[in-house]
Amino acid sequence: MELRDQIMGAYADHLREHGAPPATVFKFVQGLSIDERSFFSEFPNFDAVESALWKGMVQRVAQAVSGGDEWIGFSARQRVLTFLFAFCEESLAWRSLLLLRVGKCGPLSRAAHVKGLETGFKEFMGPVIEHGMASGEIVGRGPLTNTYPEVFYLHFRAVIDFHLKDDSAGYERTDALIEKSVALAFDLLGKQAVDSAFDLAKFVFVRPT
């Protein structure tokens, strides 16, 4: 196993076991029988280790779903749904860690240790949004278009937060939330009356000089 993975694995175990990050890097590397220098050559600090951990988890789910036979034929909406369902299913394997580190800081937190969730998710969403724009499911709205990945990320965090608080049998309420909220998101991102209104307003009020 590569040193990087070894550190990430040991760090995840430590968090789950002790419920908190190790006090110092010195103490942490003793369990791994490596020296501090090796640690710092891979990661600048503990937050970076954890961030990489989350990013890896998102990437694994993204790879698993996009490698499926049916992926090519899926619309953007189906791709988002598939990812979210798969993420929630997969996250049961490390739910305690998610509860401890993501659940506690709330859906709006930008803490350094969860940064990897964001980067991993946005990397995944980039091509999905492009696919949706190509198929017309998602409408480009000038500079607003750049906020789409951010909007989807906030939605993703809200879904995680809901999933962590969900106490229904088999987390069925999370399924319903994903289904309904993604439907709403795509209804809002698709072409709407407001787009036509904007177009008309531009025509009436803005004259080319």
Partner 1 sequence: MTGQDTIRSTPVTRMASLAGTGAKVGINYLKHYGRRALGQESTSLDEENAQTIFKTFSELKGGPLKLAQMLSIDQNLLPTAYAKQFAQAQYSAPPLSYPLVAKTFRREFGSNPLTIFDEFTREAIHGASIGQVHRAQKWGKTLAVKVQYPGVAESLRSDLRIVKPFALQVLGLRESDIAAYISEIETKLLEETNYLLERTRAEQIASACGDIPNIRFVNYYPEICSGKILTMDWIEGITLDQFADGNADQEARDQVGQALWDFYDRQVHTMRLFHADPHPGNFLVRKGEVWVLDFGCTKEITADFHSKQFRFVDPGLLEDEQALIEALEALDVLLSTDSASDRAQIMASCRQWLGLLAAPFHAEIFDFGDENFLREIYELGEENRRDKLMRNLRGRRGSPDTIYVNRAFFGLYSLLSRLRARVKTTKPS
Maximal CA-CA distance, the chain: 73
How many CB atoms are closer than 10 A to CB 184? 11
CA-to-CA distance for 180 and 60, rounded, in angstroms? 25
Binding mask 180-209 for partner 1 (x = CB under 8 A): x-xxx--x----------------------
Binding mask 115-154 for partner 1 (x = CB under 8 A): ----------------------------------------
Contacts (CB under 8 A) with partner 1, residues 62-81: 68-70, 74-75, 77-78, 81
CA-to-CA distance for 56 and 44, rounded, in angstroms? 17
Using the minimum distance from each CB to partner 1, give the nearer residue, 27 or 191: 191
The letter for the amino acid at 17 is E
CB 189 within 8 A of CB 139: yes
The phi and psi torsions of 179 (rounded to 5 degrees) equal -55, -50
Contacts (CB under 8 A) with partner 1, residues 77-116: 77-78, 81-82, 85, 89
Structure-block tokens of residue 155: 């939605």
* Piece in contact with partner 1 (CB under 8 A), picked from 17-25, 122-130, 169-177, 195-203: 169-177
Q: Which residue has the tokens 């000038």?
A: 142
> Minimum distance from CB of 125 to partner 1 (Å)?
16
Residues that bind partner 1 (CB under 8 A): 68-70, 74-75, 77-78, 81-82, 85, 89, 168, 170, 172-173, 175-176, 178-180, 182-184, 187
